[in-house]
Chains A and B, each alone.
Chain A
Amino acid sequence: MKRKSKPIIRVLQYVILVIATLYALYPVWFAILASGRLGDRLYTLDLGGMFFPTEWTFENYRVMLFEKPFLTWLTNSLKVASITTVASLIVCTSAAFALSRFKFRGREFFLVFLLAISTFPGLLSLVAIAQLLTALGLYGKHAGLILAYTAGTIVFCTWNLKGYFDTIPIELEESAMLDGCSPVSAFFLIALPLAKPALAVTAILGFMSGWGDFVFASVLVPAPDTVKLAVPALYSLANSMSVPWGYFASGAVIVIIPTIIVYLAMNRYFEGGLTLGGVKG
């Protein structure tokens, strides 16, 4: 039996969808429009200029790429986020393996403990972390930031990977162990390749936590320009009176658009690879 929608309902559905799509896309579209306009022309838009690129220029991009240290900021961000991703994957895969494949006393307690301890917001532990990094001589250096980011991703990443490993039937590994594999190599040879969707999602979210972060980066590596990360650097550009807003917009577009594309490409994985109910909210 095929259910047919009445025409009026169809129309209503499309009206809602179109309004929602405008809401969803306009801020991003506006950032793109603003990136192609000179700063002082942003405050005198006509109706056309609000929706279409009427006075498009690459001047903002040229200034950002060649006159500001924007490329350095981008490289810094890429470097910090990538190292964080690799480090957190290594640490979390090993922890998630132990928590998923061994039955031991205190396992459940450890999992709950991880979650409970992570309810202490990162922003609030920042004073202590900054002080600790100062004492270690890592304050203002990327290494310190990477350490803090990696630690920050551990709880989510361990939980998510452990949840996914739990769904992979243990019988596969047990049959490999009958053939003489050790539990560890059975896991890494058989279960790990099956966990690719979860690993991909965890890696992307780990990367994004470094790539998009503002608070940690702005506190732990505040200056000089050569070590700053892209997001906090753009934040101070946007709030500085002497810099046209269009510069910020062009820099923001360069950061935001690839991020969105990565998420869209990963869309499918998000449904299968996330086991912990909510990550982003």
Chain B
Amino acid sequence: MSGWLGRRKWITILLFLAPTILAILVFNVYPILLNTYISFTNRNKFRPNPDCDVVLTGLLDPICWPAFRDNAPTGLGKPYVLQDPILGNYDTLMGKLFTPEALLSLVLIGVTFAPLIGANYFSKKQERKIDKKIPTNLVWGFGILIAVALFFILNVPKSISSLMATGDFITVVFRTALFVLIRVPFTFILGLILALILNSENLPGKTFFRVALFVPWGASSVAILMSLVWQFLFRQQGTINQIFAVIGGTGPIWLNDPILAFGVVVIADIWFSYPFFMVSILGALQSIPKELYEAAEVDGAGFWTKLMKITLPLIRPAVLPAAVLTSITAFQMFGTAFAITGGGPTRGAGVPGATEFVMVYAYKQIFQQQNYGTATAFAVMIFIMLFLATLYSLRVTKMTKGAYE
């Protein structure tokens, strides 16, 4: 804006940004610093107190700050000190990852995915060619075929289980990644199908269905309460099993079986998240000009061709950012799993349960086990992953442009 220049402009800007900067410094930057510091110490429930004579502890732990010492709780227990070796907590979480066997497993899994990346690259290159194209479907089919073959030849399940044995970090992150890989595509497909149906012309009762299908979005803001309802439905004597009993069968004990419990969490979490996709796809669909479809029909295109050649490419710009951001939120999902399974079922003490996704794991480590040292090291690793994912999503969605660009 051309109104003010120089110092006056800067003072105005700073004044308007001051509350935000202050809040970010106190509630975001400071917790990250303290967290990172604690991740190098052995703080746990037996060593909860700071040793204020250590320079960094005295600087970072609020209990050591002169103004606040009066409010400090006088707890029992020894003070925490730096871990020896300093990366001890990280070592506990993922140290075994750097053994030859684990690294080999990692490489094998990478090799299995390589044909898919190759297919992606090759088909993009093919699309730029004008003549003598190799059909994209063929390239992808070939890539998938090789990947599946490699999956069995290299015995990937064995590699995965040997990776899972390297410690909590890989186990938890792998399970969470699996959850995201299942949950996001299903959410997208359900949202797409419903949006396509709701977008068709003269469909009697459209408004009713639109409103009804939107309901879970509203409920998702009190996710923990609705998740408890889902948990009741899938209890051993819950409603689903009562339906089984009425039909004349016995339902499984859903939440005690690792795979079924995982499935229940996925179903409940899709319930919370598909309306968002449905609404964004519906918005994108409505902006596609009808003439495109009419022209395609004149050329004899069927439903499938229209979907693949017109609909999906044209909704891509709107849906891609939504998909990336949804994946990041799905990775951090907490309430659904915590309320339905509490992270369980577990196979033994000290082993993460089948639905113990990253946030559930962190919550249990911090608030139930009080293993602050390991939990904060875990937090730092997760932060790095989320940070990179967000940078990538910014590149995909190009969201930082202002009014002037």
Contact = CB atoms under 8 A, between A and B. Distances in A.
Interface of B is mostly: helix
A86 interface: no
Interface stretch (A58-66, A94-102, A192-200): A94-102
A204 B23 CA distance: 21
Nearest to B210: A267
B221 interface: yes
B393 to A, nearest CB: 9
Given A91-B23, A170-B1, A256-B219, A277 B209 contact: no
Nearest to B294: A1
Contact of B330 (A99, A162, A281): A281
A125 B28 contact: yes
A151 B28 contact: yes
A91 B20 contact: yes
A173 B362 CA distance: 48
Contacts of A256: 219, 222, 225-226
Interface string A178-190: 0000111010000
A50 interface: yes
A16 B230 CA distance: 22
Contacts, number: 315
A1 B280 CA distance: 27
A108 interface: yes
Interface in B19-77: 19-20, 23-24, 26-32, 34-35, 38, 61-63, 65, 68, 71-73
A99 B17 CA distance: 8
A18 B363 CA distance: 38
B250 interface: no
A116 B399 contact: no
Contacts of A152: 27
A137 B68 CA distance: 8
A241 interface: no
Contacts of B402: 99-100, 103, 107-108, 162, 166
A281 B326 contact: yes
Given A16-B193, A123-B362, A136 B71 contact: yes
Interface in A227-281: 231, 234-235, 238, 245, 248-249, 252, 255-256, 259-264, 267, 270-271, 276-281
A117 B32 contact: yes
B329 A117 contact: no
B215 A259 contact: no
- Determine which residue in B62, B327, B375 has the highest number of CB atoms from chain A within 10 A of its CB, and name it: B62
B301 to A, nearest CB: 12
- Determine which residue in B31, B193, B391 has the highest number of CB atoms from chain A within 10 A of its CB, and name it: B31
Given A117-B24, A124-B379, A280 B335 contact: no
A94 B332 contact: no
Nearest to A169: B403
B213 A21 contact: yes
Interface string A138-154: 00000000011011101
B397 A215 contact: no
A151 to B, nearest CB: 3
A281 B276 contact: yes
A102 B12 contact: yes
A31 B35 CA distance: 39
Interface of B: 1-4, 9-10, 12-13, 16-17, 19-20, 23-24, 26-32, 34-35, 38, 61-63, 65, 68, 71-73, 190, 193-194, 197, 200-201, 203, 209, 211-226, 228-230, 232-233, 237, 239, 242-243, 246, 271-273, 275-276, 279-280, 283, 293-294, 297, 321-322, 324-330, 332, 334-335, 339, 359, 362-363, 366-367, 372, 375-376, 379, 382-383, 386-387, 389-391, 394, 397, 399-400, 402-404
Which 4 interchain pairs have the tightest Cβ spacing? A263-B218, A278-B325, A125-B31, A151-B27
